[in-house]
Amino acid sequence: MSPSSMLDNPGAGEPKTPSFEVFVPAQTVLPPSNARLGVLGGAYNPITRAHLLLARCSKEQFKLDEIIFVLPKTLPNKPVIDTSIEQRLEMMRLGTTDVRYVSLGLCTHGLFLDICAALQKVYLQSPEIFFITGRDAAERILNWTYPDPAEALAHMFASFQLLVFEREGQLQLRENPLIKQYSTRIHTLRLSENIDHISSTEVRQRIFAGRSIQGLVPAAVAAYIMNHNLYKKQSE
């Protein structure tokens, strides 16, 4: 299936019911029961070595059977204007070709609960879902001003667990009484190397400045970026 065949009309707005389609399935087979599925969402603009390290460390530390890299069609924070969804999906494919346990998917929505609901329609094994996220994103999610915070947190932690990598600081909300009761559903992900210097933003800024991106992205992704002259214009 081509990436373009999965895209809805961009002008039609986000559908009410989230849906999900697998673009590249993992080469491993998810077990029929007691499966553990990691979910790493992002704009992937572009995919970097940090994404791959997060996937590997999550799989090793939490015995995940599969990790799906999720590209939301509609991002909850800001739109991407310098690359198309098709280009980002292709870079994701190129960057994960040799990683057997990683699958790639496209979701109509970007919020964790929406992605979770959409995944449950695709993964009929009803796997235990682990969202892999950074400390700052976890704090935004857990500390959001929900109409009913207790109900929102109960819904979230009944649906998934969190794997938090504490980049640039430690998670500060573990002692919040509302959150503390879910402490067994919030886990610290320890990385085997420091990736604070690796980000999609850093890649784009280096390319715009004419600097090397060696070591920040997989070689095949770097070649794709060069061949398609991506990120040569400042978009931020």
The mean pLDDT of 98-104, rounded to a whole number, is: 97
Would residue 116 count as lying in a domain? yes
- Tell me what the mean pLDDT of segment 189-214 comes to: 93
pLDDT tens sequence across 75-86: 766 678 889 999
Kindly state whether residue 2 falls inside one of the protein's structural domains. no
Its domain, for residue 106, covers 16-227
> Tell me: the pLDDT tens digits for 52-65?
999 999 999 999 99
Residue 1 lies in a domain: no
Query: What does the pLDDT read at residue 14?
Result: 56
The answer to whether position 3 is within a domain reads no
> Which residues are CB-contacts of 10 (< 8 A; sequence separation ≥ 6)?
none
pLDDT grade, residue 10 (50/70/90)?
very low
pLDDT at 7: 39
pLDDT at position 177, please? 85
* Res 76: pLDDT: 62
Residue 140 belongs to domain with CATH number: 3.40.50.620
What average pLDDT does the segment 191-207 reach? 92
How many independent structural domains does the chain possess? 1
The mean pLDDT value for 170-182 works out to: 80
Q: What gap in Å lies between CA 35 and CA 27, rounded to an integer? A: 15
Residue with tokens 């609960």: 113
Give the pLDDT score at 4: 34
Q: Is the pLDDT of residue 73 over 70?
A: yes
Mean pLDDT of 153-161: 96
Q: How confident is the model at residue 144 (pLDDT cuts 50, 70, 90)?
A: confident
Q: How many CB atoms neighbour CB 98 within 10 A?
A: 10
Residue 213 forms part of a structural domain: yes
Give domain status of residue 157, yes or no: yes
* pLDDT 10s digits, 222-231: 999 999 999 9
In a domain, 233, yes or no: no
**9 within domain boundaries:** no
